[in-house]
Structure 1
Amino acid sequence: MKTTVYSVLFFLLSFTLLSCGNDDTPEPVIPLEATLIQDLAAPNDVIDRTTGQVTQARPFIFFSLETQSIVTEAQDWDIAFKGTTIRVNSAKNVTAALANGIFEELKEVPASAQFATDTPTTFAIPTGSGAGWYNYNSATFTVTPIPGRILLFKTSKGNYVKMEIMSYYKGNPPVAQINPMTTPSAHYTFRYILQPNGSQKF
């Protein structure tokens, strides 16, 4: 009788351990969080408005999407800002595309996204009002992000990013409060989500 009881107990214990060892319950998915960058200053060249000539050249400000920080051109940067222009690091095969939609609702890279890199004569993110990420209002002399315009990047490490530029003015003021003569411009506020595993899903 004791032998039978011990055998049953051994069987139950073995089954319990085996069940625990073969637990196929998937790991919980941790939601990706957006990184918010505020007032990244990237002033444009100083231009003589009467002649159109550059009187003071200013450098691009280089940024690593992977480390969430401003870096130098000699370091591993992904994108660079100056005025309304955004460059990508073509030497490191960084590419960019434009998409339309709501930032929170864009859950993956659209199949229609056309990624490109900079060339000596073109930018992957086009410049000019309405062409890339912003509109320029010639009546109020203000630059505002195009509503619903999302920037997509593939970083130097092969990871995908979705980005929304929220403001071009220091302090992210409401559009109605922007004074182009006194409100500092070329101060980017933007948010982005980086998918660190190479997946195109956000």
Structure 2
Amino acid sequence: MKTMQKFIFTVGIITFLFSCNNNDEPAPVVPLEATLVEDLAAPNDLIDRTTGQVIEERPFQYFSMEQNAIVNENEDWDLAFKGTTIRVNSAKNVSAAIVTGIFEEITEVPASAVFAKDTATSFAIPTGSGTGWYNYNSATFTVTPIPGRVILVQTTKGNYVKMEILSYYKGNPPVEQIDPRTTPSGHYTFRYILQPNGSTRF
């Protein structure tokens, strides 16, 4: 009888240990980390300031948020940058919305966010001072990101991204150190978080 009790007790311990380590346990939630992109060079066309004519037409830079890399136009890019213009890959169902809030505190795609694609007459991420992601100061001739503007993107794979543009100038200099005559513009520094599983939560 003692042998049988010992056997039952041993089996119970093994069963308990196995149940504590089975695959039914929910996997721990791994916090998503922000990716920092520095000095993505996408300068605007070179324009003659006296005539307004384009002297040199420069290309868009195509960026995959899924790959965190510049890619070719015929690949699965999400955003294309040139000057202050940011295009979305509407042909691959990429869409974007601009929301107001603190980057770290936006933990889910807001129900109020209105996603749009580029059209022949408009951009999903609007251009123009104060209408999209930046302000233009006509006194200092500088472009600065609007504080609290966060860009949401649904990528070519249907995943959600939140993105904050930090600087439009090479080296991400402090605003007071920007000299529009000598500081190269069209060099984006931004951070973003990609939710790779299709969830709307970050």
TM-score, with structure 1 as normaliser: 0.94
Is 1:106 aligned to residue 112 of structure 2? no
Correspondence 1:1-202 to 2 at 5 A: 1-9=1-9, 11-13=11-13, 15-16=15-16, 19-20=19-20, 24-202=24-202
Question: CA separation in 2, counterparts of 1:200 and 1:47?
Answer: 41
Question: CA separation in 2, counterparts of 1:177 and 1:116?
Answer: 35
Q: Deviations over 1:137-180 (max 9, x none)?
A: 00000000001000000000000000000000000000000001
Q: How many residues align?
A: 202
- Of 19-28 and 108-117, deviating more is 19-28
Query: How big is the shift at 1:135?
Result: 0.1
Q: Which runs of 5+ in 1 are unaligned?
A: none
Q: Which runs of 5+ in 2 are unaligned?
A: none
Q: Deviations over 1:1-42 (max 9, x none)?
A: 355334433542453255336575422110000000000100
The AA in structure 1 aligned to 2:71 is: V
Change (3 A) 1:180 1:21: closer
Q: Deviations over 1:110-137 (max 9, x none)?
A: 1110000001111100000001000000
The AA in structure 1 aligned to 2:155 is: T
The AA in structure 1 aligned to 2:118 is: D
Q: Deviations over 1:78-122 (max 9, x none)?
A: 100000000000110000000001111110111110000001111
What percentage of residue pairs aligned between the two structures are identical?
71
Query: How big is the shift at 1:48?
Result: 1.6
TM-score, with structure 2 as normaliser: 0.94
Change (3 A) 1:23 1:188: closer
SS at match of 1:36: strand
Question: CA separation in 2, counterparts of 1:183 and 1:50?
Answer: 21
Query: Structure 1 runs of 4+ off > 6 angstroms?
Result: none
